[in-house]
């Protein structure tokens, strides 16, 4: 990993290497100016790759891909993979696949690995972290699953459930040390990695002497 960068009076451009509206809305909470860019990375798992390794590899690949196009910028990459007994569960994409996922997860504990990377190509700075979230699903019946999916249509979410919305009704418990990790971007870790990259979130607030 690269060394921590010095704090600068004029921060580098900040880019979120993602087109996810969930990640964009989370990053907006930090009140930093930023742009978004599509990372254009192949997300196909490699043979034998664990969900944890897949999430970490893709987060770094996304950050590097965008940083190559914008070398002066500090780029945030993130990826989330749901892990059921060592098998990755991605975004279902369709209603039928979402039904299959929720049936497989009912009454079970699923680990959502949310990986994070911050990269600056110009300085060679790279930092990574991983925020695992343990989620215990209720023992749902088929009618519960069908009603939920028709109501929320979470087909763009890994694991077929939006815990920040109605999907919370599917769960018995969530265990995490970074409360936004399950939504898609672990903000505690994001703030920490941005500091290492030279951006102190609180020092960027307007109207405060530095």
Rounded CA-CA distance 161/163 in Å is 6
79 included as an active-site residue: yes
Catalytic residue chosen out of the listed positions 40, 42, 79, 177: 79
Sole residue written with tokens 């892990």:
83
Structural domains of the chain, with CATH: 14-204 (3.90.950.10)
Mean pLDDT across 51-56: 96
107-142, pLDDT tens digit by residue? 999 999 999 999 999 999 999 999 999 999 999 999
Percent of the chain scored above 90 by pLDDT? 85
Rounded CA-CA distance 157/91 in Å is 5
Query: With 50 as the cut, is the pLDDT of residue 77 above it?
Result: yes
Query: With 80 as the cut, is the pLDDT of residue 7 above it?
Result: no
DSSP codes joined into one string, 95-130 = HHHHHHHHHHHTTSEEEEEEEEEEEETTTTEEEEEE
161-200, pLDDT tens digit by residue? 999 999 999 999 999 999 999 999 999 999 999 999 999 9
């Amino acid at each position: 990993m690269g060394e921590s960068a010095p704090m600068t009076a004029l921060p580098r451009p900040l880019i979120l290497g993602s087109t996810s509206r969930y990640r964009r809305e989370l990053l907006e909470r930090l009140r930093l100016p930023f742009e978004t860019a599509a990372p254009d990375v192949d997300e196909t798992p490699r043979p034998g790759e664990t969900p944890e390794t897949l999430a970490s590899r893709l987060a770094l690949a996304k950050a590097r891909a965008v940083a190559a196009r914008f070398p002066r910028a500090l780029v945030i990459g993130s990826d989330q993979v749901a892990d059921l007994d060592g098998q990755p569960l991605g975004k279902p994409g369709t209603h039928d696949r979402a039904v299959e996922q929720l049936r497989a997860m009912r009454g079970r504990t699923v680990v959502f690995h949310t990986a994070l990377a911050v990269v600056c190509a110009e300085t060679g700075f790279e930092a990574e972290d991983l925020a695992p979230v343990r989620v215990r699903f209720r023992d749902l019946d088929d009618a519960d699953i069908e009603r939920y999916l028709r109501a929320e249509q979470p087909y763009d979410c890994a694991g077929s459930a939006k815990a920040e919305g109605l999907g919370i009704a599917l769960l018995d418990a969530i265990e995490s040390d970074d409360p936004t990790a399950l939504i898609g971007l672990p903000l505690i870790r994001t703030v920490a990695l941005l500091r290492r990259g030279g951006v102190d979130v609180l020092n960027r607030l307007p109207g405060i002497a530095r």
